[in-house]
Structure 1
Amino acid sequence: MHTHAVAMHMSDGLVNGPTALLFAVVAGVALAVALVRARADLDDRTAPMAGLVTAFVFAVQMINFPILPGASGHLLGGALVAILVGPWVGIVSISIVLVVQALLFADGGITALGLNITNMAVIGVLVGWLVARSLRRLAVRSKGGLVAVAFVSALVNTVIAAMGFVLEYAIGGAGGATTGTVFALMGGLHVLIGIGEGVITAATVGAVAAARPDLVYLLRGTGTPLARRSATEGIVR
């Protein structure tokens, strides 16, 4: 039997109506808070970066990578956006990607949009940010430290976001499978997907840091030699 597992996008009918409505409210409240808080993080320098990151995540999410025979995953982007543009702008960015995917590409159900935003935009971004922020001392030491932090943050955020899916299914699952089965499938697959997520996130953050470390949100206010040097070079040029 051929199965095709794509990271996290819930389709219509996987959970019952009341559960979908509950998490639509959760997603709406979280997005409203993020929109208000994001204003403080957006300026002439970060706004273009936010647009680029959103477009990048949208494009890369369209590409699946194999993890097992018959199963594939794609970038979620939670840790990536959190590290590059911060948690609040990150939540908005991933939410925009998910809304466009659901409306234009039927990737993820319309009734499940609140569930998908909760898992990938809210849980994914916030967990990615909390892990990265807790490891910031390592990230500021060197580019290698930053890349390692990006990898770990992405791996953890992918697995925890998958557990959000399991929780929602446990509350109001309507897909016919037991919660235990869903837990085992989602947990196992998303550890593997998280490794791929970590590699993509680490490579992307490393590339940005090599060119413009002053644009990496996680490094803001840390006075890292890299960030200071980049800012100085910009003045010299």
Structure 2
Amino acid sequence: MPTMRRREFILLAGAAATWPLAALAQQPSGRVFRIGILGATSPGPAQVMLNAFRDGMRERGYVEGQNLVIEYRAPGAASEQDVAADLMRGGYDVILAWTTPSVIAARRATSTIPIVFVGVADPVGLGLVASLARPGANVTGIANFATDLSGKMIEMLREIVPDARRLGAVRNPDNPGVTVQLRQLLDAGRALGLELQVVDARVPVEFQAAFAQLRQSGIQGVVMLADS
């Protein structure tokens, strides 16, 4: 997702994160609200998104150092589930989850603390919410509808490389949100008479090996499945 679009998306997350705080805001002035963020990368690479989130919160009257505390966590060497469980012990008013695996981990860790997700491809299909209009339970957020675009991606690639017959797709097999994307991609490929080879890459350092494998197979174009 381009940086500007990603920033706008996180600004929306700031709005979404204030929904669970609305009732708490009725409490006496001087209350400091605490938001725990379960991210995907170390704080350094996440600074653009963190700053956008702070901007979104500030626009709604929540300012760090005044009435807001934000703590960012990412899996690192620990598992997503372990980090989520640790966050639940931090006394946060809201948990913000940035990826599909992180919101699934957060949902498993608590059924009471409000969870706001950002950019989950298929929250209804994954069972995170009952519906987009009425999420229910303690989970709400913003869907990115990447699944709706998966079939279009292969159609666009075919337009760019009209003679292509063999295409590749790179996915993170540990992300449950990829399942629907891949199914739509395979359906679109079959409809166009294309052969589609899928390779796995869980982390960026595995991209080189994934592309080398596709190159050796004579793949003529590659689709990167969204890992959000």
Q: Same fold (TM over 0.5)?
A: no
Which protein has the bigger strand share?
Answer: 2
- Normalised to the residue count of structure 2, the TM-score between the two structures is 0.35
Higher helix share: 1
Larger Rg: 2
TM superposition score normalised by structure 1: 0.34
